[in-house]
Chains A and B, each alone.
Chain A
Amino acid sequence: MTTPAPPDLLYSETEDDLRAAVRSLLTDRGGPTAALAEAETGRPYDPDLWRSLATGMGTAGLLVPERLGGQGATAREAAVVLEELGRSVAAVPYLTSAVLAVRTLLGCDTARPEVAGPLAALADGTRVGALAVPLPTAPGGAPHGTVRGGAGLSGEITSVAGAAGADVLLVPADSGLYAVDATAPGVTVTPVTPLDLTRPLARVTLTGATATLLAEPARARTAVADALLTGAGLLASEQLGLAEWCLAETVRYTGGRHQFGRPVGSFQALKHRLAALWLDIVSARATARNAADALATGSPDTAVAVAVAQAHCGEVAVRAAQECVQLHGGIGMTWEHPAHLYLKRAKSDQIALGTPGRHRETLARLVDLPGPAG
């Protein structure tokens, strides 16, 4: 068992500054309370917030080199943005457009105008993209062949995150990867009612839809696999931010809520649970940073780092959200309190881009711990 070179698991000053800017924007826009109001509008996302975050602050182009119209930053900076988005359960298509769709395009030949064009538009946030695969797809598990090419694309893809509200869909098909304009004839995007009210899901139906070929099948597979790996690795940072909010809010609440003549947070039964959760989050931060750093540096350890981060952070975020609901008591069960948004996001994130169990199975292969024969 070899140990990779020490990763940089801390936050740089630039990353701290970026975090402060994103947090300030999200706080100004009302934080979790606004997220609840937004969820009830039925819109896939808040276009004003997206414009400020993606275009105004330039975060949509963090993963894109400057020569291709982006900011030339790395997965480390995108991870910090996702931490803050998780902390505020903001309904913006950052993971689906600025990470999954952008990374898919970056995996294609960016010298070709049909790739560079949409990439630049996603990088400056003026257009929104979505990778048309079911959200539960784990890295390495990309389904191909459900959509068939020909004169036009035909087929159906379920549970596509961010498809509702997307301008361009990146569709893996049997004959390669295609770009499909969401408004083109033969494209139907049918929203489904999601468990997570802050991340829209839709069924994408294509009936002879006009499409532009972005990559041949082999390149398409690599591009999609790389995008899913990046997405899974960075999702860990969203889960981290989400869990941190749940802990901080629960500590605040139990410190002020009195029963039996004492703050309920002074009872050991609650303190021990919160301290244990803090421990979980401390280690979640180490694994999420490790995944972001591996993705940023192209480390040979990236697949292990991502699988560890997903196997760990997916569980920690759910535990944090569940503890948040339980330790808030009755108010945690209400629609009015935002705790439920975090629980729903955490539970959906646990399924997104591979469940913790699936990532552990991946690890079994990667680190040579095979299961029993047969």
Chain B
Amino acid sequence: MSGPTTSPKDGAAAARSGGTDATALDADALRRRVADLLTTHDPATTDRLDFLRARFDAGLAWIHFPEGLGGLGAPRALQQVVDQALEAGGAPDNAPRRIGIGLGMAAPTLLRHGTDAQRRRFLRPLWTGEEVWCQLFSEPGAGSDLAALATRATRDGEGDGWIVDGQKVWTSQAHLARWGILLARTDPDLPKHRGITYFVCDMTDPGVDVRPLRQITGEAEFNEVFLTGVRIPDTHRLGGVGEGWQVARTTLMNERVAIGGARVPRESGMIGLVADTWRRQPELRTHDLHQRLLKLWVDAEAARLTAERLGRQLALGQPGPEGSGMKLAFARLNQEISGLEVELLAEEGLGYDDWTLTRPELVDFTGRDAGYRYLRAKGNSIEGGTSEVLLNIIAERVLGLPPEPRTDKDAAWKDLPR
């Protein structure tokens, strides 16, 4: 099989992504490695999991990771070369959407803050999907103000471990997860940001109780997780005691990256659905709805172009502050467009497809009917940072406006009003 020829663009992208080493892998070298893997492990006759493990061991899982941890220390921009070559060769993928929290949040944090032993233990089954991860951060009393979290981790009197007690909420995948990345308070006498430690929690521990959290759509994407006397060995601590907030910043930065910046075609997502309805059912049209639809169409197109521009900047290694705005823009658009669609549908908008409590493994904001989309979109301005907090972040970090005066930053956590 002859691979496609290398375009000069690949080389330029490699140079920009930090491939300054003269021996850095180029696209051709990567395609050769993919070809070798496909020869030694023919996807047609190899068990899916065996293939994924072999891919990881060949350094073709996430090529920007170090050798021995599923990567080759190669430029991240060349990952698509590997993915395309593997797809063309009929290779199975690791169902990345199903293990998004592991790939997008736990893995970068393990890589940056984990010990060698932790990386070797956790990264391979995380990437292959053998072990699903969840995120135990938010609590009923700590949403936007995550650093106020109250789940306690205390030293296990008998040994070198920790005992954890508390309650986490909005935990997707907790019912499927083998491991959770956990933030817990280890020193209540310190100011809130300084008394937190980051752990890997074994979700099969008998003290972990996962309960579905039913939401306004009727389904339960998320869970509440009750932690009672959960034992965590000290070897499952990520970073130093009291350094959990700094470690968590790695995780949260990657969450924002994961949410913003995707490329979208014109009329994709919610606006495409309502435009289809508009074209298909002329009897529903009114002048008022027409004006509002056109405004939203323009807003959606403007947001699409903004994402397009951001994507180009990222590809050139010039990330702009625009990324922090995309989530805000799409939250507003999703809510307004789905609201308009329910109104447009009139009599049909009075109905709802199904209130049965289900536990979807994947979430599709544009899935199901307009009523579902309208309700699910309400979460878009809350999950992953409320729109109000994101506006503060833009005002302070992008525009450089002065912060609000705060009384909570330097006080001991135990003295804060709750």
Name A's B-contacting residues (CB within 8 A).
Answer: 1-4, 6-10, 247, 251, 254-255, 262-263, 265-268, 270-272, 274-276, 278-279, 282-287, 289-290, 308, 311-312, 357, 360-361, 363-364, 367-373
A284–B302 contact, CB under 8 A? yes
B278–A282 contact, CB under 8 A? no
Expressed in whole angstroms, the Cα–Cα distance for A331 and B328 within the complex equals 32
B302–A6 contact, CB under 8 A? no
Give the Cβ gap from B2 to chain A, nearest Cβ, in Å.
27
Other-chain contact of A266, B302, B394, B403 (Cβ < 8 Å)? B403
26 A-B pairs within 8 Å (CB atoms) are namely A1-B267, A1-B275, A4-B266, A6-B312, A10-B312, A10-B316, A255-B400, A265-B401, A266-B404, A268-B404, A271-B395, A271-B396, A271-B401, A275-B399, A283-B302, A283-B303, A285-B309, A289-B305, A290-B305, A311-B294, A312-B302, A360-B294, A360-B298, A364-B290, A364-B294, A369-B294
B265–A3 contact, CB under 8 A? yes
By beta carbon, the residue of chain A nearest B401 is A265
Task: List A contacts of B325 (CB < 8 A).
Answer: 278-279, 282
B278–A369 contact, CB under 8 A? yes
- Given A266-B404, A267-B404, A272-B391, 17 new contacts (CB under 8 A): A9-B308, A266-B403, A271-B391, A272-B388, A275-B391, A275-B394, A278-B394, A283-B306, A285-B306, A286-B302, A287-B301, A287-B302, A312-B302, A360-B291, A369-B297, A372-B286, A372-B290
By beta carbon, the residue of chain B nearest A8 is B312
A372–B305 contact, CB under 8 A? no
Task: List B contacts of A372 (CB < 8 A).
Answer: 282, 285-287, 290
Expressed in whole angstroms, the Cα–Cα distance for A164 and B309 within the complex equals 39
Give the Cβ gap from A174 to chain B, nearest Cβ, in Å.
34
- Interface 0/1 of B288-302, CB less than 8 Å to A: 001101110111011
**B398 in contact (CB, < 8 A):** yes
- A262, A268, A271, A363, most chain B CB atoms within 10 A: A271
Give the Cβ gap from B204 to chain A, nearest Cβ, in Å.
43
Interface size class of B (residues with CB under 8 A): 35 or more
By beta carbon, the residue of chain A nearest B293 is A369
Expressed in whole angstroms, the Cα–Cα distance for A1 and B304 within the complex equals 14
B266–A308 contact, CB under 8 A? no
Expressed in whole angstroms, the Cα–Cα distance for A4 and B390 within the complex equals 32
B328–A266 contact, CB under 8 A? no
- Interface 0/1 of B372-406, CB less than 8 Å to A: 00000000000000001011101110111111110
**B313 in contact (CB, < 8 A):** yes
- B301, B308, B400, most chain A CB atoms within 10 A: B301
A308–B391 contact, CB under 8 A? no
Expressed in whole angstroms, the Cα–Cα distance for A2 and B390 within the complex equals 33
Task: List B contacts of A1 (CB < 8 A).
Answer: 266-267, 272, 275
By beta carbon, the residue of chain A nearest B313 is A10
**B418 in contact (CB, < 8 A):** no
Other-chain contact of B308, A2, A266, A272, A286 (Cβ < 8 Å)? A286
Task: List B contacts of A271 (CB < 8 A).
Answer: 391-392, 395-396, 399, 401
By beta carbon, the residue of chain A nearest B318 is A10
Name B's A-contacting residues (CB within 8 A).
Answer: 265-267, 272, 275, 278-279, 282, 285-287, 290-291, 293-295, 297-299, 301-303, 305-306, 308-309, 312-313, 316, 322, 325, 328-329, 388, 390-392, 394-396, 398-405
Expressed in whole angstroms, the Cα–Cα distance for A369 and B293 within the complex equals 9
A251–B287 contact, CB under 8 A? no
Expressed in whole angstroms, the Cα–Cα distance for A282 and B325 within the complex equals 8
Expressed in whole angstroms, the Cα–Cα distance for A4 and B272 within the complex equals 16
A255–B402 contact, CB under 8 A? yes
Expressed in whole angstroms, the Cα–Cα distance for A359 and B179 within the complex equals 53
B401–A311 contact, CB under 8 A? no
B303–A255 contact, CB under 8 A? no
B266–A286 contact, CB under 8 A? no
Q: A286-B309, A371-B287 are in contact. Are A276 and B391 (CB under 8 A)?
A: yes
Expressed in whole angstroms, the Cα–Cα distance for A9 and B398 within the complex equals 21
Other-chain contact of A272, B278, B282, B395, B402 (Cβ < 8 Å)? B395
Expressed in whole angstroms, the Cα–Cα distance for A270 and B401 within the complex equals 10
B402–A275 contact, CB under 8 A? no
Other-chain contact of B329, A266, A283, A369, A373 (Cβ < 8 Å)? A283
B401–A363 contact, CB under 8 A? no
A311–B402 contact, CB under 8 A? no
Give the Cβ gap from B9 to chain A, nearest Cβ, in Å.
13
By beta carbon, the residue of chain B nearest A9 is B309
Task: List B contacts of A276 (CB < 8 A).
Answer: 391
Give the Cβ gap from B36 to chain A, nearest Cβ, in Å.
34
Task: List B contacts of A371 (CB < 8 A).
Answer: 285, 287, 290
Q: A10-B313, A266-B403, A372-B285 are in contact. Are A308 and B395 (CB under 8 A)?
A: no
- B272, B303, B306, B404, most chain A CB atoms within 10 A: B306
Expressed in whole angstroms, the Cα–Cα distance for A183 and B336 within the complex equals 55
Expressed in whole angstroms, the Cα–Cα distance for A3 and B401 within the complex equals 38
Other-chain contact of B305, A2, A263, A278, A286 (Cβ < 8 Å)? A286
Give the Cβ gap from A29 to chain B, nearest Cβ, in Å.
28
A268–B392 contact, CB under 8 A? yes
Give the Cβ gap from B404 to chain A, nearest Cβ, in Å.
6
Other-chain contact of A282, B322, B390, B405 (Cβ < 8 Å)? B322
Task: List A contacts of B308 (CB < 8 A).
Answer: 6-7, 9, 286
Expressed in whole angstroms, the Cα–Cα distance for A357 and B298 within the complex equals 11
Expressed in whole angstroms, the Cα–Cα distance for A276 and B308 within the complex equals 20
Give the Cβ gap from B113 to chain A, nearest Cβ, in Å.
31
By beta carbon, the residue of chain A nearest B276 is A1
Q: A10-B312, A10-B313, A373-B282 are in contact. Are A282 and B306 (CB under 8 A)?
A: yes
Task: List A contacts of B306 (CB < 8 A).
Answer: 282-283, 285-286
Give the Cβ gap from A258 to chain B, nearest Cβ, in Å.
10
By beta carbon, the residue of chain A nearest B325 is A279
Task: List A contacts of B402 (CB < 8 A).
Answer: 255, 262-263, 265-266
Expressed in whole angstroms, the Cα–Cα distance for A318 and B286 within the complex equals 28
Expressed in whole angstroms, the Cα–Cα distance for A286 and B279 within the complex equals 27
Task: List A contacts of B287 (CB < 8 A).
Answer: 371-372
By beta carbon, the residue of chain B nearest A361 is B294
What 4 pairs between A and B have smallest CB-CB spacing? A271-B395, A286-B305, A275-B394, A372-B285
Expressed in whole angstroms, the Cα–Cα distance for A186 and B287 within the complex equals 47
Give the Cβ gap from A247 to chain B, nearest Cβ, in Å.
8
